[in-house]
Amino acid sequence: MNDVLVLLPTVALAVCASGATGQEVLRDKTLVVWAAPLDLEQRGGSALTIDNLDGRFDGVVLGEIEPGRWMPGSEYYRRTPQDQADWPVESRTDGFVQIAIVYSGPSIAVYRDGEEYAQYEAGEPAAEFLPGAAVLFGRRHLDATTGDSFHGRILDARLYSVALDPGDLRSLRPGEAPETPWAWWYFGDGSLAERTGRYGQYAIEGDVRLREGALELGGNGATLIARPAAQTLSTWRPGAPVPRSVIEGARNLREHLLHDPYRPAYHFVVPEDNGLPGDPNGAVFWNGRYHLMYLFHNGQAFEWGHVSSKDLVHWRHHPRSIMADQGDEGIFSGGAFADPSGTAWITYWGLGGPAGRGACIAYSRDPHLDNWIKPPEQSVIPSTELGYTVTQDEAGNEIIYGSADPSNIWMKDGRYYMLAGNLLVLNRFGKELGLAQHQGDTAYLFESDDLLNWRYLHPFYESRREWTRADEDNMCPVFLPLPADPNGGEPSGKHLLLFISHNLGCQYYIGTYDEDTDRFLPETHGRMTWVDNAYFAPEALIDDRGRLIMWAWLTANPPEEHIRAQGWQGVYGLPRSLWLRPDGTLGMRPAEELTQLRQGEQQWTDLLLRADEELPLPDLPGELMELELVIEPQDATRVGLGVCRSARGEEETVIAYDVARGALEVDTTRSSVGFGRRVVESAPLLLEADEPLVLRVFLDRGVVEAYANERQAIARQVYPTLGGQGVRLFSNGGAARVVSIHAWPLMPSNPY
C-alpha cells in the first residue's frame, strides 16, 4: 500500500472541480481527530497538524513535553504551555479517542471525548493559516525531526473554521458531519480523499498505510502530507515540457510585482515570497563577482538561494546553493570563505536529527559557484542539543559552546578559524538556569587544519554590560579586518565583529585581534538599530579592492494580509561600505556603485530655513530618489526633512538631526495610515564645532534609508499607504542654512 498512495491525481481532479468550501483563512478554529495510539511512550508526534509552510503550525501532539499527554503543538511552544504535570495521561490503547483543540482568540482548550482536558490563555491571538497550508498526519510539523512522529491509527480528522463548543464536540461522530468542515478526512471508507475538495495532493514518507478502515502510521518519521488541490502551474517542475499556463503565470507574476506600491525597486528583495526569516548569508567575492546567498523557505524547509553581481546593484539569479538534503532537514545562517587554493567554502547551520545537527560546511570550485558539494564530513561542529554542544575536555571538565550560525572562515599561520553564535547557550544556561557565565553576547572560536576537522578553542571575547545587556545574544557573526579607507586598500590593523542580538538587532565591535592568544579584544561597541530589531541579520565580505561591504535584513515585513495578496517579503538594506575612521569610530556610507542609478539631477544652493517654518521642495520624484543635503544648523535645535509626505500631511516620514541631543532621528509614527512599525529611531551623532550636517537619503517605495556624515545610518520600512511623494525641509528653535541640495531620480535595478 505504501507504494501506491504517494499521489491520487484522479481524486484530486475530481474533488477540485467542485471547489473548496469554508472561509479561505483560518484564525479561530477547531482541530478534531479520532486517534488510537499504538505506543503510549512515544514522544512528539502529531495525529493532526496544519502547517503554514513558514515555520508556524498548530497540531494535536502526543507526549512531546510530558509522556502520554496530548497537547496543542506550536512553533517554539508559542501557543503551548510547558507545565503539563497536572494534565491527564492517555491510557486508551484499545480504541479511538476523540481529541479536539479549540482556538478562540488567545484562548485554547483541549477536549478528550468532549470533556475538557486543559484550558489556558496563549498570550497571543490565534495563529492565522493561509489557503496553501499543508496538513500533516505523523510529524508535528514539516521541519520537525523525522524520528518524532505519531505511531498509531487515525479514523477521522477534520478542521473547522470556527471555535466549536463542548456540545458541538460531543455531537460529532466519525464519518458524519452535519456541517461541512473546513477540511475533512474519513479513512473508514478506505480512501485518502479529502472530502471538501480543498486538498488533493498527497505525499508519503515512511511506513504509512490504509488498513482495516483507518490510516496507520508506523512512527519513526512516518507521515502523510496533504497539500491543496493540484494546479498545472504549481505541479510543473523544471525539465518537463513547459505548459502555456506556466509561461503566462510567470509573466503575470512579474507584471503584478512591478505594480506593487511598496515592493522596493533597487533594494534587493528575496525573489520567493517566503523570505522569513530573510537573512543574507554566504557573501564572498569570487571570480570578479559579488556572490550573496539568501535564506528562504521552500514550502517544506529552509534553504539558501544564490545571486551574484558585478556592480552590487544588478543581481543575477543562480541555482539554489544549499538545499535540505543529504542529512540536512533545513538550512539556517552561515558565512563564506574563498580559499587561496581556488575553492569557495560556505558554512551553515544544518537542521535535523534529535540534536539539530550543528555547524556544517560545503564547497565549490565552479567558476560561477553554481554547484556546491557537501562532503561526508559536512557536519563539522555537531550539536548535542539544538544550537549548542555539551562535552568534556581531556580533564573531564564540562564544556559548553554554541554550534549554530557559523561565521565566515579566516586564515592565520596556515590554519583556519571560525566562530559560532551563542543564542541557544544563552537561552538554556544563561536565562533558564541563571548561570552568569553564560549571560550576554559572546561567540565561540574553532580551529582547523583542513576545513573538515574542527577543534573548539574558547570564547572569542568577553562582553561588557556597559555595552550590551545580559539578555542579548551574538548570532550571525561576521569577523573581518577593517580597512582604513572607504575605498579599500590596506587593512587598518583593527577588526570588526558584526552580529545581531535577536531582541535589539544588528550591532558591532571594533577591536584588536590578539593572534598570540586567538582572542578578540573589543575597544568600542556600536549599534545599527536602537529602538527595535528592524535592521537585523548582517552579512559582509572583503572585495578585490579591500573594501568591507555589508548587507542586513530589514525585518519589518508587510503584514500577512499584504503578503498573501502581493506575494513577497524579505528585503535587504543597501550595501554599505564600512571602514575605520581616524578617530577610531566606524565609517559607513552606501556603496559607491549605487550612483549609477542616478538620473537627471536637480539642485539648490544657499537656502535659508527660518525658525519653525518649513520649505517645500516641489516636483521631486519622491518614490525612487536619492537626496544629498548639506545643512548648517546655526541657531536651530532641530533640523531635517519630511519625505513620503501625502498632499494633506496625514502621512510623512521625518528625518531629523537633534542638535541638543546629538542624535540622528527617523520618525515613522506617521509614515503610514495603513501598516508598518510606528517608532522614533534615534542614533547617536555628535557633530564637531562648525561641522555641517551631511545627509544622504534614499527613498525606495516602502524603504527609507538615511546616512549622516559618513558615520551613522538608519534604515526603516515605511509603507506610505497614500502614495505621498512630497518633501519639505524644516528648522526648529532657530534658523538654519541649507548649503546645498542635490536630488536624483533613481532607476530601478531589480529585474521586477
Cα distance from N-terminal residue to C-terminal residue, the chain: 46
Residue 162 CA to residue 126 CA, distance in Å, equals 11
Fold type of domain 9-230: Jelly Rolls (2.60.120)
Asked if pLDDT for residue 356 goes beyond 90, the answer is no
Least confident piece of the model among 83-87, 377-381, 459-463: 377-381
Long-range residue pairs from 73-82, CB within 8 A, at least 24 positions apart, any chain: 73/46, 73/49, 73/140, 73/141, 74/127, 75/141, 78/122, 78/124, 78/127, 79/103, 79/108, 79/122, 79/124, 79/127, 81/118, 81/120
3-state secondary structure 193-254: CECCCCEEEEEEECCEEEECCEEEEECCCCEEEEEECCCHHHHCCCCCCCCHHHHHHHHHHH
Contact (CB, 8 A) for 704 and 698: yes
Contact (CB, 8 A) for 544 and 569: no
Q: Which amino acid is at 720?
A: P
Q: What is the pLDDT of residue 231?
A: 47
Q: What is the pLDDT of residue 142?
A: 85
Nearest to 154 by CA among 137, 167, 166: 137
Confidence of residue 283 (pLDDT cuts 50, 70, 90): very high
Contact (CB, 8 A) for 101 and 75: no
Asked if pLDDT for residue 259 goes beyond 90, the answer is no
Asked if pLDDT for residue 492 goes beyond 90, the answer is yes
- Over residues 295-351, the pLDDT tens digits come to 998 888 999 999 999 999 999 999 999 999 888 999 999 999 999 989 999 999 999
Residue 745 CA to residue 79 CA, distance in Å, equals 47
Q: What is the pLDDT of residue 7?
A: 28
Residue 643 CA to residue 637 CA, distance in Å, equals 20
Q: What is the pLDDT of residue 18?
A: 28
Taking the CA atoms of 193, 198, 200 and 201 in sequence, report the sign of the dihedral they define.
negative
Burial (CB < 10 A; 0-12, 13-18, 19+), residue 171, is exposed
> Helix H segments across 67-115?
none
Contact (CB, 8 A) for 616 and 643: no
Q: What is the pLDDT of residue 13?
A: 23
Report phi then psi at 82, rounded to 5.
Answer: -95, -10
% of residues, the chain, pLDDT over 90: 75
Report phi then psi at 16, rounded to 5.
Answer: -65, -30
How many CB atoms are located within 10 Å of the residue 390 CB?
A: 14
Residue 690 CA to residue 693 CA, distance in Å, equals 10
Q: Is the preceding peptide bond at 616 cis, omega within 30 degrees of 0? A: no
- Over residues 609-667, the pLDDT tens digits come to 999 999 999 889 889 999 999 999 999 999 999 999 998 999 999 999 999 999 999 99
Residue 255 CA to residue 442 CA, distance in Å, equals 46
Contacts of 500 (CB under 8 A, 6+ apart): 473, 474, 475, 476, 506, 507, 533, 536, 537, 538
Asked if pLDDT for residue 673 goes beyond 60, the answer is yes
Query: Residue 711 has which C-alpha cell?
Result: 558615520
How many CB atoms are located within 10 Å of the residue 680 CB?
A: 13
More confident: 724 or 518: 518
**Domain pair 9-230 / 599-745, same fold:** yes
Q: 189: alpha, beta or left, given left = phi > 0 and alpha = psi -120 to 50? A: alpha
Average pLDDT over residues 62-83: 93
Residue 1 CA to residue 467 CA, distance in Å, equals 61
- Over residues 159-190, the pLDDT tens digits come to 999 999 999 999 999 999 888 899 999 998 77
Query: 517542475: which residue's cell?
Result: 237
Nearest to 308 by CA among 325, 323, 326, 287: 287
Q: What is the pLDDT of residue 12?
A: 26
Q: What is the pLDDT of residue 145?
A: 61
Residue 306 CA to residue 59 CA, distance in Å, equals 33
Contact (CB, 8 A) for 506 and 500: yes
Residue 680 CA to residue 666 CA, distance in Å, equals 6
Look up residue 9 and give its DSSP letter.
H
Contact (CB, 8 A) for 225 and 202: yes
Burial (CB < 10 A; 0-12, 13-18, 19+), residue 256, is middle
Strand residue runs (E) in 591-684: 602-609, 613-616, 624-632, 638-645, 653-658, 663-667, 680-684
- Over residues 208-250, the pLDDT tens digits come to 988 888 999 999 999 999 988 644 455 677 777 787 777 877 8
Least confident piece of the model among 5-19, 22-36, 119-133, 551-565: 5-19
Contact (CB, 8 A) for 317 and 306: yes
How many CB atoms are located within 10 Å of the residue 351 CB?
A: 23
Q: Which helix (H) or strand (E) holds 532?
A: none
Confidence of residue 146 (pLDDT cuts 50, 70, 90): low
Confidence of residue 499 (pLDDT cuts 50, 70, 90): very high
Cα-Cα-Cα-Cα dihedral of 399, 404, 410, 414, to 10°?
40
Residue 459 CA to residue 716 CA, distance in Å, equals 33
More confident: 164 or 2: 164
How many CB atoms are located within 10 Å of the residue 52 CB?
A: 22
Asked if pLDDT for residue 466 goes beyond 70, the answer is yes
Contact (CB, 8 A) for 283 and 336: yes
Query: Residue 149 has which C-alpha cell?
Result: 512522529
Span 277-556: which CATH code? 2.115.10.20
Asked if pLDDT for residue 4 goes beyond 50, the answer is no
Alpha-carbon separation of residue 35 from 55, 70, 725 (angstroms): 25, 11, 58
Mean confidence (pLDDT) of the chain: 91
Residue 157 CA to residue 30 CA, distance in Å, equals 11
Q: Does domain 599-745 have CATH number 3.40.50.620?
A: no
Q: What is the pLDDT of residue 20?
A: 36
Contact (CB, 8 A) for 260 and 567: no
DSSP-derived 3-state class of residue 482 = strand
Domain boundaries of the chain, sorted by first residue: 9-230, 277-556, 599-745
Q: What is the pLDDT of residue 441?
A: 98
% of residues, the chain, pLDDT over 70: 95
How many CB atoms are located within 10 Å of the residue 109 CB?
A: 21
Q: What is the pLDDT of residue 251?
A: 83
DSSP-derived 3-state class of residue 563 = helix
More confident: 21 or 631: 631
Residue 668 CA to residue 654 CA, distance in Å, equals 7
Asked if pLDDT for residue 22 goes beyond 80, the answer is no
Asked if pLDDT for residue 392 goes beyond 80, the answer is yes
Q: What is the pLDDT of residue 2?
A: 31
Residue 357 CA to residue 349 CA, distance in Å, equals 8
Contacts of 707 (CB under 8 A, 6+ apart): 588, 589, 590, 695, 696, 697, 713
- Beta-carbon-side half-sphere exposure of residue 279 (alpha carbons within 13 Å): 27
Average pLDDT over residues 670-698: 94
Q: How far is CA 469 from the centre of its chain?
A: 23
